[in-house]
Structures are given as structure tokens and as C-alpha cells.
Amino acid sequence: MATLAKTVVATGATSGIGFELVKQLLTQTQPYKFILAARDAKTAQAAFDSLKYDTSKHSLTIIPSDLTNLKTVKTFSQQALEKIGQDKIDYLMLNAATVKTVDEPGVSKWCGTYIVNHLSQHYLVHLLREKLEASQSRLVFVSSGGIRLIDDPSVLDESVKRNSGTKRDLYPDTKFIALLGAHWWRRQLQGKCKVVAVSPGLIPTTGLYRQTDIKLPADHPDAKSVPVGAQSVLAAFTRDDFPEDPDRIFLTSWGEWWESDVIKLTLDKKLQDKWCPSKDEVEKEEGITA
């Protein structure tokens, strides 16, 4: 009897750690059906075609989507659901991330880094929610140990606004907010879906900071390669040894579940609610019509 394919819907899977993760899954005997969002679908398609994977076993669909524009996120969700049909979503991986020091033109009050790293993917979960619940999916939020750099969440109100003038790296800020989102969705989907946040570790060669002057030290003692980082994320797909404490959803790159006190600032439910608007609220604020 043929093994049923598992469906993976993902953002941030066409380069860096996300690409490597898909590459590793394409070598497995378990069949996979990938539906991936990509800003540059043509380049992404060429990259996956070069892997020469077994197309009789795995299928891969790339749908254009610019996560700085939530209208394209809505289109992606519609096309993804059409492609999935009656099948279920086994995994939703939210891995897209960017670091920008200069905001691109736009109408949103939020900076591009915040929109990509949190709001667009939070909105995507809203759009897929009914299917995710019916599928009892696993949601994997790719996070960062950098969230520990945030010791005063009140600064986030101004730092992630468009043209705020903030000079510091907003990656930890936006990843902190995205972790608030992971906790919020864990609460919303309790008993229906599994939610895991995971850090791939310090990966200097992902190209994340290519649009900035920031350089990650390749010789850092904690530095890991892209394949190793992808294996850390892959563990979030397969681990079932969840702690009894439901707040301990963060899987580290060394394979441990962080204690609640390490991520305690993200456990504030009022703060989670503040940064996790409803679907209608997102659409109203970002000017998205039916």
C-alpha cells in the first residue's frame, strides 16, 4: 500500500534554512506535497528543479506572494487551499524573515520587517485557520534566541512603526512579537492543532542580513551551518515529547525545550492579545477588501 503524502505549506522556504529543510525532506522515503510562497517564483522554481528530486514521489507548487503586501498573502491562501482540495495540511511552517534598515514605500503604518516577520504570517494563519483545525495541523514558527534581547516590550510600540527612526536591528523586536503570536495561536488552537516555536541557532550564512551592514561572525563558537540549522527546525516537525507546561513551546537549536522563565516576557496574555489582531482587524487596517 502506497504511503500517503504529507502536505507542507510554508513561507520562507525558497532560500536559506527553509530551502535546505525542503531539500532534506525531498530525500526522504515519506512522500511530501509542498505548497510554498515565494516573492520570486521563477528563481525559486529553478532552484528546486536543480535538485532533481523524485517527482513521482514528491510534488512541489510555488505560488507568488510578496509578504510585504498582505493582499498577496490572501491570494496565496486562496490558491493554496484550492491546490490542497480535500487533502489536509499536515504542517504549516512560518519561516519567512527579513531585516531591513530602510522602509520600502507603502501605506501601512508598520515597517516592512514587522509586516514580513509577524503580521503577514499571522494573517496567513487566520486565512488558513478553518483548514488547519480540520486537519489538526502542526504549526511551526521559526523563531530566534534573539528574543531574549528584549527586556522592555513597551518599546515595541514605536520601534516597529514605519519611519520610526529606530537605528537598532529590528530582527529581535519582530521575532519577539512573532513569538507572542505563536503563544496566542497555541491558545486559540488548543486541542485542535499543535504549535511549536523553534530556533535554528546562530546561522551566519543564511543571507538574512544581506540588505544591511550587519555582519554575523562566522567564527562565533555557537555558529552553525545551514544544514544543521535546518535539522533543528525539522525536529520541530517530528518531536512529540511536549512538556506538561503548555507555555513551553520553544524548542532550542540544541534540542531542549526552554523553561518558562526564559521566555516569560512572551507569556503575558494581554501582550499576546495586543499584538495579535483578528482577521477583520488586520484587513481593515491594511485596506484589504473581500
* Cβ proximity of 239 and 195 under 8 Å: no
Question: Is 270 part of the annotated catalytic residue set?
Answer: no
Residues forming a β-bridge with 108: none
> First-to-last CA distance in the chain?
43
Question: Is 175 part of the annotated catalytic residue set?
Answer: yes
Q: Tell me the CA distances in angstroms from 287 to 106, 123, 131, 282, one per residue in order.
A: 12, 13, 24, 8
Helix axes 279-286, 120-135, angle to 10 degrees: 150
- Specify the DSSP class assigned to residue 125: H
Catalytic residue among 6, 131, 175, 194: 175
Residue whose C-alpha cell is 507603502: 106
Catalytic residue among 32, 114, 123, 171: 171
**Phi, psi at 197, each rounded to 5°:** -105, 140
Catalytic residues: 171, 175
